[in-house]
């Protein structure tokens, strides 16, 4: 398998995506013998985050394979794979920087137009645009 490296240009880039997990076995050292059903919607600890982390190749399974269009995700370009997924986590994560930089996170080359399009696609444009000096506003924690 290809090393997990989001900066490499190596690996396939698919035209369309249909995913499948095959005979996956995964162990998390901090949670031994956890029994659960993996689902994208479910109770805390059921495997939602693990499923996404395996799909996005933050980890590789101990056995089995995760495939997209019949290709093991370990053969795909990691950066391409992650750029082509939109993830909304259970807990929102914001960094102590501007709204624009939070939206730009993970895609440094995003233009102001890309950021505005992302806000519109997330149905957040109207709310965000009413805030004062939105591009410079920082989140404080």
- Of 42, 63, 83, which residue constitutes the final position of a domain? 83
Residue range 100-109, pLDDT digits in tens? 888 888 788 8
Q: For 16-39, give the DSSP string.
A: S--EEEEEEE--BTTBTT------
How many whole angstroms separate alpha carbon 131 and alpha carbon 103?
Answer: 15
How many whole angstroms separate alpha carbon 99 and alpha carbon 107?
Answer: 14
Whether residue 11 is contained in a domain is answered as no
- Which residue range(s) make up the domain with 123? 92-141
Whether residue 108 is contained in a domain is answered as yes
Mean pLDDT taken over the chain? 79
Taking Cα atoms as reference points, which of 104, 123, 120, 124 lies closest to residue 112?
Answer: 104
Cα-based angle 115, 117, 122 (whole degrees, multiple of 5): 95
Higher pLDDT, 58 or 10: 58
Question: How many domains does the chain fold into?
Answer: 2
Higher pLDDT, 73 or 43: 73
What is the predicted pLDDT for the residue at 38? 38
Q: 58 is written with which tokens?
A: 């933050």
Residue range 51-80, pLDDT digits in tens? 889 999 999 999 999 998 889 999 999 988
What is the predicted pLDDT for the residue at 62? 92
- Of 83, 108, 128, which residue constitutes the final position of a domain? 83
What is the predicted pLDDT for the residue at 131? 78
What is the predicted pLDDT for the residue at 9? 84
Q: Averaging pLDDT over each range in 29-33, 81-85, 89-93, 135-139, which range is the top one?
A: 81-85
Q: 72 is written with which tokens?
A: 């093991």
- Report CA torsion sign: 115, 119, 120, 125: negative
* % of the chain at pLDDT higher than 90: 16
Whether residue 1 is contained in a domain is answered as no
pLDDT of 19 > 50? The answer is yes
Whether residue 72 is contained in a domain is answered as yes
How many whole angstroms separate alpha carbon 25 and alpha carbon 65?
Answer: 9
What is the predicted pLDDT for the residue at 85? 77
C-alpha to C-alpha distances, 87 to 67, 76, 90, 118, nearest whole angstrom = 18, 19, 10, 13
């Amino acid at each position: 398998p290809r090393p997990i490296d989001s900066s490499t240009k190596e690996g396939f880039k698919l035209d369309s995506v249909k995913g499948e997990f095959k005979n996956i076995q995964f162990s998390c050292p901090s949670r031994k013998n956890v029994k659960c059903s993996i689902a994208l919607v479910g109770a805390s600890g059921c495997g939602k985050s693990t499923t996404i982390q395996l799909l996005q190749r933050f980890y590789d399974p101990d056995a089995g394979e995760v495939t997209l269009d019949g290709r093991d995700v370990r053969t795909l370009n990691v950066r391409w794979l992650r750029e082509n997924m939109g993830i909304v986590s259970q807990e929102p994560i914001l960094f102590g920087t501007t709204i624009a930089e939070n939206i730009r996170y993970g895609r440094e080359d995003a233009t102001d137009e890309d950021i505005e399009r992302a806000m519109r696609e997330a149905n957040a444009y109207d709310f965000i645009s009413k805030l004062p000096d939105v591009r410079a506003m920082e989140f404080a924690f």
